[in-house]
Amino acid sequence: MRLWMKAGLAVVILTGAVKLAAAEPPPAEKVERKGPLAGLPSAPGPTVEKIKALGDNQWLNLGAPAPDPKWGKAYGRTWGSKMPYAPDLGGAFLNGTGVHGFMTPDGRYTDDIWFYDLYAHKWICIYPGTDGKTFVERIKSGELKVNDDGQLADKEGQPVPYCSIPHHSYQMHTYDPDQHKYVVGWGVWGLGGDQYTAKMAWHQEGVKLLEEQMKGKTDNVRGTPFFFNTVTGKFERYAVKGPRLPMEGTAILSYVIFHLPGKKALWLYAGYGKTLICEPASDRQWSDLRAKGPAPLGGDFVACYDSKRERVYVGVAAFNREPPFARSREQDRIYAYDVKTNTWSNLPDKGIVPTALSSQHSFMNYDSVSDRVICISHHWEEDRTHNFASLAVFDPESASWDDKPLPLPAAANSWEAWHSFYSPEINAHFIYVAGDSDDRGTMWAYRYQNVKK
């Protein structure tokens, strides 16, 4: 093991196998799971005690997670820094496209869905991605077909998450611990596909066959989310009974979705003034909350949920130059939504506010043990004139950022994609660093403050 100290930052690099004592995972209700996540949470592996021993402002390189026995390792992907955390499972989800229209070497589209098991430090594949080589053949054989709601389904009637997020994942997925379900984006239409598969011959041929099956049916699932039920191990998608979510134009870039524990509901901000709520255990209809106050405009946000104050913090991509998302660096960039009062507020730029607030260039986690928001920016600007790489800390009580951002390890100064989640049970931020559509990634753990209990 090697240890470097620089400017108050401790970076611990593991260079070999280390045998460590096990630690107990968080208490969880007894759930008998089926499918790829059966048996979770895992027994703690050798990395857990080392993570728990981290001091203040320390980093730990965990190395590459073990691959899924059948499907290998998860690809890094741009504009998708959020990894929804599932405390009852002991890990977090990863999906969303990377390189536009990218097909894996074995011919699969990158609409794949993964779970990182933090206790075992390994990848579990939930959905390996649509197989372009067999897509048409599976339709002809009846293995894939259109159901009565206009949804692409398998021969057992299970919805197929083909292009469940028809672009990058941004902030468009979450985990619902009440229902034990991963909420994974919004397919644009029941038959699947996106602007990139639309140009691919295998998709074009397949969709012609599906459209024949679609005749006389109505697409009742357009713009509705997929759910992955972690207990049954199956995907679910429900027909629309009430208003559809706003799916038109570039609003898709703007979705921010979280589970609200106190309300047992899903909360969604659609980016252009629409703040919505849904109770997935009952009618599954989305209602406009008609929230008060100034809401953030634009797209490609970073966000986190403050469980202590029941707030959602949203950072706006300040340097995105493309309309309609262009904003001035002088504008305030942090917004807060208060669940109790149903009110948005635009927080003042107090302290050193991160200037790279986008899902490509940063991520934001609420550190509940330290009661701080941690925002890590890890990229150079497009013209390579400014290095954003730093770790900024936000104090919710004073609504201000620290005056001196913390430095990052040298690995941060790159164009690789970063994906992250925070585990309060371990009191650590986990960061998967990998190239875009590249599976040669490394998992890191970071602790802001070692609060003794």
Rounded distance, CA 63 to CA 444, Å? Answer: 7
Do the beta carbons of residue 352 and residue 404 sit within 8 Å? yes
What are the residues facing 63 on neighbouring strands?
443
Do the beta carbons of residue 332 and residue 326 sit within 8 Å? no
Do the beta carbons of residue 305 and residue 311 sit within 8 Å? yes
Rounded distance, CA 201 to CA 210, Å? Answer: 14
pLDDT at 384: 58
pLDDT at 322: 41
pLDDT at 33: 96
- Residue 434: closest CA among 125, 109, 98: 98
> Mean pLDDT for each consecutive 10-residue tract of the chain (453 residues)?
34 34 50 95 95 94 97 94 97 93 93 97 97 97 96 95 87 95 84 90 96 94 91 93 58 79 89 85 84 88 96 77 42 86 93 85 95 88 65 95 86 76 97 92 95 69
CB crowding 290-313: b at 16 or more within 10 Å, else e: ebeeebbebbbbbbbbbeebbbbb
Identify the DSSP state of 249: G
Give residue 120's Cα distance to chain centre: 20
Q: Quickly count: other Cβ atoms within 10 Å of residue 410's Cβ.
A: 11
The greatest distance separating any two alpha carbons of the chain, rounded to the nearest whole angstrom, comes to 67
CATH of 2-447, one of 2.120.10.80, 3.40.50.2000, 1.10.1740.110, 3.40.190.10: 2.120.10.80
Helix%, strand%, coil% for the chain, nearest 5: 10, 35, 60
- For residue 296, whether the previous peptide bond is cis, meaning omega lies within 30 degrees of 0, is no
pLDDT at 297: 82
How big is the CA angle at 178 (ends 174 and 181), to the nearest 5 degrees? 45
Rounded distance, CA 332 to CA 348, Å? Answer: 6
Rounded distance, CA 91 to CA 93, Å? Answer: 7
- For residue 36, whether the previous peptide bond is cis, meaning omega lies within 30 degrees of 0, is no
Instruction: Give me the DSSP letters along 342-384.
Output: TEEEEE---S---S--STTTEEEEEETTTTEEEEEE--B-TTS
Instruction: Please give the helix or strand (H or E) that residue 137 lies within, else none.
Output: helix 135-140
Q: Which residues contact 295 (CB under 8 A, 6 or more apart)?
A: 269, 273, 275, 335, 337, 344
Integer-rounded Cα radius of gyration of the chain: 21
Q: Which residues contact 421 (CB under 8 A, 6 or more apart)?
A: 82, 83, 84, 85, 92, 365, 429, 430
pLDDT at 70: 97
Q: Which two tokens stand for residue 174?
A: 């979450």
pLDDT at 360: 84
Tell me the three state secondary structure of residue 294.
Answer: coil
Give residue 441's Cα distance to chain centre: 17
- For residue 41, whether the previous peptide bond is cis, meaning omega lies within 30 degrees of 0, is yes
Strand 9-13 and strand 58-63: pairing? parallel
Rounded distance, CA 450 to CA 447, Å? Answer: 7
Q: Quickly count: other Cβ atoms within 10 Å of residue 401's Cβ.
A: 21
Q: Which residues contact 106 (CB under 8 A, 6 or more apart)?
A: none
pLDDT at 113: 97
Identify the DSSP state of 6: E
pLDDT at 11: 40
Only one residue has tokens 């200037």, namely 355
